[in-house]
Amino acid sequence: MAAASASSSLLTSKSSSPTALSWKNQLPLSFATVSLDCGRRNHRNSHRLVVFAMDAKPTVLVAEKLGQAGLDLLKDFANVDCAYNLSPEELCTKISLCDALIVRSGTKVSREVFESSAGRLKVVGRAGVGIDNVDLAAATEHGCLVVNAPTANTVAAAEHGIALLTAMARNIAQADASVKAGKWQRNKYVGVSLVGKTLAVMGFGKVGSEVARRAKGLGMHVISHDPYAPADRARAIGVELVSFEEAIAKADFISLHMPLTAATNKILNDETFAKMKKGVRIVNVARGGVIDEEALVKALDAGIVAQAALDVFTEEPPAKDSKLVQHENVTVTPHLGASTMEAQEGVAIEIAEAVVGALKGELAATAVNAPMVPAEVLTELKPYVELAEKLGRLAVQLVAGGSGVKSVKVTYASARAPDDLDTRLLRAMITKGLIEPISSVFVNLVNADFTAKQRGLRITEERILLDGSPESPLEYVQVQIANVESKFASAISDSGEIKVEGKVKDGIPHLTKVGSFEVDVSLEGSLILCRQVDQPGMIGKVGSILGEENVNVSFMSVGRVAPRKHAVMAIGVDDQPSKQSLKRIGEIPAVEEFVYLKL
Ligand SMILES: NC(=O)C1=CN([C@@H]2O[C@H](COP(=O)(O)OP(=O)(O)OC[C@H]3O[C@@H](n4cnc5c(N)ncnc54)[C@H](O)[C@@H]3O)[C@@H](O)[C@H]2O)C=CC1
Ligand SMILES: O=C(O)C(=O)COP(=O)(O)O
């Protein structure tokens, strides 16, 4: 079960302490066995946490239409409840019965949704790219993983962008409506050519770069603004990255492909429209919010913007009498960028795999609010992950007095260069170990840093660079809690902190130091730490008390200062000794102090 405790903790629930809740208490699933298997899965680079469902399935609420192939994948693993067009209130009511939720862009996954789920919701899957409709901060605070499907609709969105660009330039929508109304207005619908014109692609990510590639094929001169895109990737397809000011000033056409963030909100506004070429044409298949829609109407009326083609709106659907939608120089579609048969099938599979994987405890490759750890790294770190959680768990159980745990220092000693050691996973597990034994909060990879911060727990990390060949990622890990008393005084180091140190030996986490005493005990089951006067027969005395009530001793080690002086004995036990036995151990005359700790 040692692997179970470490692995289940990665993304799921409290489980590793004997006193902690089991999976049954956390997920309304009757998961019986958990084990870690760091193999590759399909094409994805993700580790696996294998969970065997014995008699119940998780429930996945699909709140917007999803392709059949995705639904089929979900149904193999979960109960699937497809309920479309839910009001916010209905969603909040239903969510308390669901382990996962899948949405597209039409559902607001607000803080209320996470609050209403009362901890049951473990995964939100966004069947598409933009996660601006999901309250990520609230998800993280509630330990809920958010995954998206970032690749399957890229081409569809890019093709829609090009469709809008060409349709706008040649007045296709307006001309179509005119002919259908019985008119024949050949002079009214004279268009503009694309060839030789400058297109500014704003946001050179997946969609933007595909739009750029296609526009080059149409003979356009393409420039792009993206502060975070690598210039060589743009150069490779003949696109020059330029500043925002230069892009908007030079463009005949502007196509928007950035995410909606605080920085991009209303990035096209009165001020920026004023800097554009008169007669510029604008395409938006990103998010409505990147344009100040009132400012766009003004710019259209003033002739600064000759035309706009919009797939997305600040409010969707937009008001029926929206001036922007009704404007004769504006072409609109109802957020159709991702809506091709192919993209929807792809997105459905992509999100279903991500959600099922996350429910199984895998670290999702498309996690939006959790560190993504490549499979190779995870395979190597697995025993250290276990060690980290157990050291945190041990250290906090040694704390006494009411001052609270505020300041924790973690030291990683390794021969690896700091850049080769990503400690986020280890830090999250130490945090989990520190917090869970003393609270009802469950901590996972998603919410570890947030939970620590919220509790005023400051975790500082230090790395010690060792000489030698860096075969293993870490030589030892040390956890120190400052400014606290200990119920086991020997755990206080010479510098005044509670200190525990451990290492991985033959793939098994070991405790190797308590305070200033060196011990060596594998971190499995539970542990009795006992300081005694070093004298013969102590091991036998303690062993026979435990043996009398059939408590199996898995490990024993004695660390002493000097022969016949003080020694700390660490005893690993498979079963929990009775209070009576613990009392008897404490009554052995040579025993000066002892503590029983659950791992
Ligand atoms: N209309 C639709 O149905 C669809 C819309 N989308 C939207 O298209 C947008 C782009 O999607 P992807 O290309 O998949 O995302 P992406 O993440 O691959 O690309 C976004 C790019 O925008 C850049 N960016 C961020 N802040 C910027 C700023 N201030 N100025 C300029 N560039 C900035 C990023 O560096 C990144 O390269 C998203 O908003 C997404 O929601 C995506 C698919 C379908
Ligand atoms: O993937 C995106 O960002 C989209 O905008 C697509 O939205 P949709 O899934 O079609 O509601």
Complete DSSP assignment for 555-578: EEEEEESSTTSEEEEEEEESSPPP
Q: Whose CA is nearest to atom 41 of ligand 1?
A: 130
pLDDT at 18: 28
Alpha-carbon distances, residue 118 vs 61, 93, 98, 444 (angstroms): 16, 11, 10, 16
Among the listed residues 48, 160, 281, 287, the single catalytic one is 287
Q: Whose CA is nearest to atom 43 of ligand 1?
A: 157
Residue pLDDT, tens place only, 396-408: 999 987 667 889 9
Residue pLDDT, tens place only, 443-465: 888 888 888 988 889 999 999 99
Q: Whose CA is nearest to atom 30 of ligand 1?
A: 226
CB atoms within 10 A of CB 52: 11
Residue 475 is classified by DSSP as S
Q: Which helix (H) or strand (E) holds 35?
A: strand 31-37
**If we measure between CA atoms, which residue out of 420, 209, 444 comes closest to residue 452?**
444
pLDDT at 48 over 70: no
pLDDT at 279 over 80: yes
Q: Whose CA is nearest to atom 11 of ligand 2?
A: 105
- pLDDT classification of 586: cutoffs 50, 70, 90: confident
pLDDT at 561: 61
| CA gap 362, 502 in Å, rounded | 26
Q: Residue type for 371, please? A: P
Among the listed residues 90, 316, 376, 462, the single catalytic one is 316
**What is the complex's ipTM, to 2 decimals?**
0.99
pLDDT at 37 over 70: no
Share of the chain above pLDDT 70, in %: 88
**Ligand 2: does its nearest atom lie under 6 Å from the Cβ of 366?**
no
- pLDDT classification of 360: cutoffs 50, 70, 90: confident
Poorest-pLDDT segment among 216-225, 409-418, 429-438, 553-562:
553-562
Our answer to whether residue 316 is catalytic in this structure is yes
**Ligand 2: does its nearest atom lie under 6 Å from the Cβ of 105?**
yes
For 492-545, give the DSSP string: B-TTSSEEEEEEEETTEEEEEEETTEEEEEE-SSEEEEEEEE--TTHHHHHHHH
- pLDDT classification of 263: cutoffs 50, 70, 90: confident
Backbone angles phi, psi at 294, to 5 degrees: -65, -40
Q: Mean pLDDT throughout 420-439?
A: 87
Q: Mean pLDDT throughout 40-54?
A: 35
**Ligand 1: does its nearest atom lie under 6 Å from the Cβ of 200?**
no
Q: Which residues of 265-276 are buried (b: 16+ CB within 10 A; e: fewer)?
A: ebbbbeebbeeb
- pLDDT classification of 39: cutoffs 50, 70, 90: very low
Our answer to whether residue 214 is catalytic in this structure is no
- pLDDT classification of 262: cutoffs 50, 70, 90: confident
Question: What distance in angstroms lies between residue 205's CA and the mean position of ligand 1's atoms?
Answer: 6
What Rg, from alpha-carbon coordinates, does the chain have? 30
For 441-461, give the DSSP string: ----TTTHHHHHHHTT-EEEE
- pLDDT classification of 373: cutoffs 50, 70, 90: low
| CA gap 585, 11 in Å, rounded | 38
Of 520 and 33, the one with more pLDDT: 520
pLDDT at 46 over 60: no
Which region, left, alpha or beta, applies to residue 275 given φ > 0 means left and ψ of -120 to 50 means alpha? alpha
Mean pLDDT, the chain, integer: 87
Residue pLDDT, tens place only, 79-106: 999 999 999 999 999 999 999 999 999 9
pLDDT at 264: 93
Q: Residue type for 479, please? A: V
pLDDT at 550: 85
Report the Cα–Cα distance between both ends of the chain, in Å, rounded. 12
pTM of the model: 0.75
**Alpha helices (runs of H) in 253-374, residue ranges in sequence order:** 270-274, 293-301, 323-326, 341-360
Question: What distance in angstroms lies between residue 350's CA and the mean position of ligand 1's atoms?
Answer: 18
Residues sharing a CB contact under 8 Å with residue 143, sequence separation 6 or more, in sequence order: 119, 122, 442, 443, 444, 446, 447, 451
CB atoms within 10 A of CB 463: 16
**Ligand 2: does its nearest atom lie under 6 Å from the Cβ of 383?**
no
Q: What is the dihedral of CA 392, 397, 400, 402, to 10 degrees?
A: 70
Residue pLDDT, tens place only, 215-239: 999 999 999 999 888 888 899 999 9
pLDDT at 375: 66
Helix (H, G, I), strand (E, B) or coil at 298: helix
pLDDT at 127 over 60: yes
Residue 592 near residue 533 (C-beta atoms within 8 A)? yes
pLDDT at 66: 97
Q: Whose CA is nearest to atom 7 of ligand 1?
A: 286
| CA gap 514, 561 in Å, rounded | 12
- pLDDT classification of 36: cutoffs 50, 70, 90: very low
Backbone angles phi, psi at 7, to 5 degrees: -70, -40
Q: In a mutational test of the pocket of ligand 1, which residue from 155, 210, 243, 257 has the highest number of ligand atoms less than 8 Å from its CB?
A: 257
Residue pLDDT, tens place only, 153-163: 999 999 999 99
Poorest-pLDDT segment among 135-139, 238-242, 290-294, 559-563:
559-563
Q: Mean pLDDT throughout 202-210?
A: 96
- pLDDT classification of 2: cutoffs 50, 70, 90: very low
pLDDT at 236: 93
Q: Which residues of 184-202 are buried (b: 16+ CB within 10 A; e: fewer)?
A: eeeeeeeeeebeebbbbbb
Share of the chain above pLDDT 90, in %: 63
| CA gap 350, 547 in Å, rounded | 54
